[in-house]
A and B are shown apart, each in its own frame.
Chain A
Amino acid sequence: MLMPYLLGAVVLVGLPALLSLILAFTRYDGMSAPVWVGWFNFRIVLANPVDLLFPISLYNTLYFIILAVPMRVLSALALAMWLNRRGRGVGLYRTAVYLPTIIPDVAYALIWMWIFNPLYGPLNLILTALGLPTPGWLADAEFAKLVFVVMAAFQIGEGFVVLLAGLQNIPPEYYAAAAVDGGSTWQQFRYITLPLLAPWLLLLTLRDIILSSQNIFTANFIMTNGDPYYSTLFLPLLIYEEAFDRMHFGPGSAMTVLLGIVTAALIGFILSIVGNWGETHVD
């Protein structure tokens, strides 16, 4: 019964992951046979004195993760808390919040290309009407990355639902007891909500870190392809170009491995902070 799932997991995920690891140490262009080259790929990807595309795209990806993930988790939390109540229309509000999340990737990218269009798009038209400066957004290296952050901030549906479920699992008696003891809203939040939601928040953050580093591919590909001047070159796009455009599967796999290591490091970092946190708040 478990066979299709486990078999599929091995063949479609496990095996390729392993193969990727091996390919990272070879030179392979997909047409001729692979050649073992040891650490060569890692060296040219990391230490190439002239072409710094990997460091640039790593920086871009980290920039995006560091801005987008907290924004998403915090807004999902805020909205979940805000809409965690009965009332007419609450279902409607929740649906509205979830709506951008279900828009298919390609359509989503095109919509935001339009919204952020520096001359035609509604955003700059609104800014002009308000007398504010109108950046070039995707045409401006300073602002282009922010477009992706904003796009990501609108798709918080899944986090929202998870936190909503988490909030609803907190027995209302806890809050009642706290109110009786004279606890303020803030204290209720800090000592009841936050600790009980902590595992969910943690899971959400970790998952978001991983997804943010990969799901950006479609939007990246459709909207900028790395321009202007590599300021929006994120890692998945670089990996794709290296492997499928220049046919360098070796360095492409090496970059994939490095991306995995960086993600694991980020996760480890977060876990270590949270671990310490848990220890000092044992009461």
Chain B
Amino acid sequence: MSIKQSTARRTARAVGFHAVSILVSALFVLPLIWMFAASLRQPGLPPPRSIEWLPAPLVWSNYVRVFQILPLGHYVFNSLLVAGATVPITLITASLAGFAMAQLSRRGQDRLIILSVILLIIPTTAVWLARFILFRSLGLFNTHAALIAPSIMGSSPLFVLLFFWSFRRIPLELYEAARMDGASPLNIWWRVALPLSGATIVVVSILTFLLYWGDFITPLFYLKSQTLYTLPVGLRQLQELDRTNWPLLLAGSVVMTLPAVLLFAVVQRFFLQENRLTGIYGQ
């Protein structure tokens, strides 16, 4: 094959690649675009005659109204509070557990990995009912503590595993050196392991935040006072107030989705960009 032919083929393939990729990407981004477009629609209008990429008139006041009908600002604050509280707790417990795992013998590690996988597999429905009764006896009804509680076990076995993998990659010499200096395991965790796991810390922080930010089931079960409501149950309340007021509901959805998208923009470079997947998976 001549150089010209192979260059032409390469260009054609590149164009083809980008064309298809753009189409696929557009497909995945479409729901978000439609959500935003519909949130600007005038409530109460009859159905549109044809596809509306951008409604006319653009009703930005939907966003004002959505904060007036319900104390949505307060709900946002509560969501930030709960999700924010869980991040440090999760980081501590998950990284401690992951660190401890990394110090164990091979067999110990395997056993704990299997345990973590089993925990990941147990259906949440299995624990709903019983956890409900358990929390009742602990007096956790109608408290934010009930929402924050899972962070005490690191929020998810996945986070423990992420830290485990990250700590395991740290060269043994560094651990040895610290140990010979007389550092306690806790010290080693704080001074050696954590600083070298920046990527994992960022990823776990953000994933934890997103996990609790979007949690609907726990507040649904446990929260009674409107002053404690978080955004997911707040949106549900909005839906119950006006079941088919799509512009308002979608405006509320935008409010809920925006922080998630922003945080994701920060963290995605650690596991989606080019070939720098060594960020947290590494070899």
Do A's and B's CB atoms come within 8 Å in the complex? yes
Contact B96 A15 (CB under 8 A): no
Contact A2 B96 (CB under 8 A): yes
A5 CB within 8 Å of chain B: yes
A278 CB within 8 Å of chain B: no
Taking a contact as CB atoms closer than 8 A, the residue among A5, A92, A99 that contacts B93 in the complex is A5
A226 CB within 8 Å of chain B: no
Q: Which residues, 89 to 130 on A, are CB-close (under 8 Å) to B?
A: 89-100, 102-107, 110-115, 117, 119-120, 122, 125-126, 129
Taking a contact as CB atoms closer than 8 A, the residue among B50, B134, B257 that contacts A103 in the complex is B257
A187 CB within 8 Å of chain B: no
Contact B125 A259 (CB under 8 A): yes
Stretch at the interface among A17-25, A46-54, A65-73, A269-277: A17-25
Contact A7 B28 (CB under 8 A): no
A159 CB within 8 Å of chain B: no
Contact A17 B253 (CB under 8 A): no
Which residue from chain A places its CB closest to the CB of B247 in the assembled complex? A114
Contact B127 A17 (CB under 8 A): yes
Find chain A residues with CB under 8 A from B17 CB: 85, 87
A13 CB within 8 Å of chain B: yes
- The complex places the Cα of A222 from the Cα of B232 at a distance, in Å, of 11
Nearest Cβ distance between residue A171 and chain B, in whole angstroms?
10
Taking a contact as CB atoms closer than 8 A, the residue among B125, B186, B236 that contacts A256 in the complex is B125
Contact B275 A4 (CB under 8 A): no
Find chain B residues with CB under 8 A from A87 CB: 14, 17
Taking a contact as CB atoms closer than 8 A, the residue among B101, B124, B246 that contacts A214 in the complex is B124
Find chain A residues with CB under 8 A from B241 CB: none
Using known A-B contacts A86-B275, A102-B261, determine if residue A8 contacts B150 with beta carbons closer than 8 Å.
yes
A37 CB within 8 Å of chain B: no
B77 CB within 8 Å of chain A: no
Q: Tell me how many residues of B have a C-beta within 8 Å of chain A.
A: 90
Contact B214 A105 (CB under 8 A): yes
- Chain A interface residue number, banded: 35 or more
Contact A4 B152 (CB under 8 A): yes
Find chain B residues with CB under 8 A from A126 CB: 51
Taking a contact as CB atoms closer than 8 A, the residue among B18, B115, B127, B264 that contacts A20 in the complex is B127
Find chain A residues with CB under 8 A from B264 CB: 98-99, 102
Taking a contact as CB atoms closer than 8 A, the residue among B21, B29, B216 that contacts A89 in the complex is B21
* Total CB contacts across the A-B interface at under 8 A: 254
A74 CB within 8 Å of chain B: no
Q: What is the predominant secondary structure among interface residues of chain B facing chain A?
A: helix
Find chain B residues with CB under 8 A from A64 CB: none
Taking a contact as CB atoms closer than 8 A, the residue among A119, A165, A213 that contacts B123 in the complex is A213
Q: What is the predominant secondary structure among interface residues of chain A facing chain B?
A: helix
Q: Which residues, 179 to 206 on A, are CB-close (under 8 Å) to B?
A: 206
- The complex places the Cα of A244 from the Cα of B210 at a distance, in Å, of 27
Contact A93 B21 (CB under 8 A): yes
Contact A107 B34 (CB under 8 A): no
A40 CB within 8 Å of chain B: no
Find chain A residues with CB under 8 A from B269 CB: 91
Q: Which residues of A contact B (CB under 8 A)?
A: 1-2, 4-9, 11-13, 15-20, 23, 30, 79, 82-83, 85-87, 89-100, 102-107, 110-115, 117, 119-120, 122, 125-126, 129, 154, 161, 164-165, 168-169, 206-207, 210, 213-214, 217-218, 221-222, 235-236, 239-240, 243-244, 249, 252-253, 256-257, 259-260, 263
Other A-B contacts than A5-B94, A91-B268, A95-B265, 17 sampled, CB-CB below 8 A, are A2-B101, A8-B152, A9-B115, A9-B119, A17-B130, A20-B129, A85-B17, A91-B269, A96-B24, A104-B232, A114-B35, A119-B47, A125-B52, A218-B216, A218-B217, A222-B236, A222-B239
